[in-house]
Amino acid sequence: MRILDGRIVSKERRAKILARATEFRSRFGRSPKLAVVIVGDHLASQVYVRNKIKACQEVGLTSQKVAIPSTVGLSQFKDLMSGLEADEETDGILVQLPLPSHLRELDLGEFLSAAKDADGFTYATLGKVGAGRSRIAPCTPQGIMSILAHYQIAVAGLHCVVVGRSLIVGKPMSWLLTDASATVTLCHSRTKDLRSFTRQADLVVVAAGQQGFLGREDFRQGSVVIDVGMHGSGEGKGVCGDVRFAELAGWVEAATPVPGGVGPMTITTLLENTLLLAEARQAISSTAEVPKEPR
């Protein structure tokens, strides 16, 4: 079984991001900038934000941590977000989830603009992804496509099954695979006899959100398995995924491990998205040609 190591792919692509960010700074006198918004003191969110800030520094991007107290009112939060939207030096905005309950009535997918949507979550961005006309895509699905490309797994003509239909992973994953000329089946919690679909697939992307949800018997021999899940093992042994990875050896052709598979490429794609947004915004303001996308 081939291990599809996202850390290797991430390292290679981050080197390219650094080169392009350096070129961007040379041409325009500033570095691409990502604003990371965090509300409250949610421990896991603090860790995620710290990792994203560090990643920006490593590839020559400027980052801004916007820490907002959990007591912030909805109208004040909207004003803060609008200020970031209007800031000419900010190219990408990421709002770290979850938000406090009193802010969740704000539909970020509709409120934020696509021009600074580093996460690829706005409805305007998703609509373009679905139409095959977007420069960026949600980070996890696009990261998976980068892993497949790195390991020369051509999806054209393959039957691909995506388990999970969220707007963050499942649906955009199915669109990207379709654009790559795969035949795609999108499964979810209401799918009857899920195994009958996954066992037919050449490639399965599992984003079910359930620890150890699928194992060896759920996949066709010689298939490719991409595990999007990330869960605490509960046994003091770190994290594990939606797939029982240890069962796959000697059965599937290739699979992503957890950790070290899809996760590293999610953050790397966030960096790529920020760079692409910066290039697009600068091209509009300066009429310069937008450099070719690093896909």
Structural domains of the chain sorted by starting position, each given as residue range(s) with its CATH number in brackets: 27-118 (3.40.50.10860), 139-263 (3.40.50.720)
63 within 8 A of 33, measured Cβ to Cβ: yes
Q: How far apart are CA 227 and CA 72, in angstroms?
A: 36
30 within 8 A of 177, measured Cβ to Cβ: no
Q: Is 64 a catalytic residue?
A: no
pLDDT tens digits for 149-180?
999 999 999 999 999 999 999 999 999 999 99
* Residue 192 predicted with pLDDT over 60: yes
pLDDT tens digits for 207-226?
999 999 999 999 999 999 99
User: Residue 194: what pLDDT?
Assistant: 98
Q: Of 52, 116, 117, 242, which one is the catalytic site residue?
A: 52
pLDDT tens digits for 237-255?
689 999 999 999 999 999 9
Q: How confident is the model at residue 36 (pLDDT cuts 50, 70, 90)?
A: very high
Q: Of 117, 119, 227, 242, which one is the catalytic site residue?
A: 119
* Residue 93 CB burial class (10 angstroms; 0-12, 13-18, ≥19): buried
Q: Is 142 a catalytic residue?
A: no
224 within 8 A of 202, measured Cβ to Cβ: yes
Q: Global pTM?
A: 0.93
Q: Of 96, 142, 211, 282, which one is the catalytic site residue?
A: 96
* Residue 294 predicted with pLDDT over 50: no
The size of the chain, in residues, is 295
Q: How confident is the model at residue 232 (pLDDT cuts 50, 70, 90)?
A: confident
User: Residue 100: what pLDDT?
Assistant: 94
Q: Is 52 a catalytic residue?
A: yes
What's the average model confidence in pLDDT over 110-115? Answer: 96
Q: Which amino acid would we find at residue 217?
A: E
